[in-house]
Amino acid sequence: MKNRRIFIKQVSALSLLSLPMVPFAHEQPRNSVNLEGEREVLAEPGPMLPPVPAVLLTINGQSGDPAEISVVWTFVVNGKPPQIGISVGDEHVAMNLVKKHKEFVLNVVTADMIEAFDKVDMNSSKVADKFALSGFTAEQAQTVNAPAIAEAAIQVECKVTHELRVPPMRTVFIAEVTATTVLPNVCDKNGRLIVDNVDFFGMTAGSGEFYTMGKEIGHIGKSVGRDDIKY
């Protein structure tokens, strides 16, 4: 097992999930938005709220089956107490597993792992052993009975507390964060994420593209002179 720092019931889910002030980098010149033009109503409405966290859920399989890795929609519910939410579709292998085990790990991987991430996402119900498919290394979580991805910069260990059915084909699970573990240099001595040290990436909901983090342009509480807010 890698030498991971552990924050148990102190650090909530991912700072990546709660830093809306930090944009994703874009290598191409950007066209400026026309603030004076008329708004366009898209033919197909969609949840276009970029960026979206790119995380991998790991969970034990059914009896006799290999452990599962899935890509699910993920969001922060609360900082204190630490709570996180996931939205799982009926078609996901993870659906019945989350209902059965009620504990899992959310793994934040880095930009050099995008190909493995996409392999997992595109083979959700086609390949049983996602660890073999992706090449990720499985290790045991600290506080829940679930596997984790050893290479992940951040592991967020979760226990389900609430379940909400969302028609027509999804279930939202709310979970308590029981421990957050990080690789060396991911956080400072106070448990604050050092964004510049890790090449995080996320998806731009609305284009389906992956982008790494861009330059810092501010922080939560800047307008009132605070710099201590993490979530």
pLDDT along the chain (231 residues), means of 10: 70 41 50 89 96 96 96 96 98 96 98 97 92 97 98 98 98 98 97 94 96 91 93 88
What are the structure tokens assigned to 138, written together? 């499985």
pLDDT score of 26: 47
- Cβ atoms 105, 87 nearer than 8 A: no
- Cβ atoms 181, 143 nearer than 8 A: no
- Cβ atoms 90, 97 nearer than 8 A: no
pTM confidence score:
0.87
pLDDT score of 1: 63
State the Cα–Cα distance between residues 173 and 160, nearest whole angstrom: 6
Longest CA–CA separation in the chain, Å: 60
State the Cα–Cα distance between residues 57 and 75, nearest whole angstrom: 13
Rg (CA), the chain: 18
CATH numbers and ranges of domains, the chain = 5-19+48-224 (2.30.110.10)
CA quadruple 14, 15, 20, 26: dihedral positive or negative?
negative
Buried b (16+ CB within 10 A) or exposed e, 132-161: eebebeebebbbbebbbbbbbbbbbbbbbe
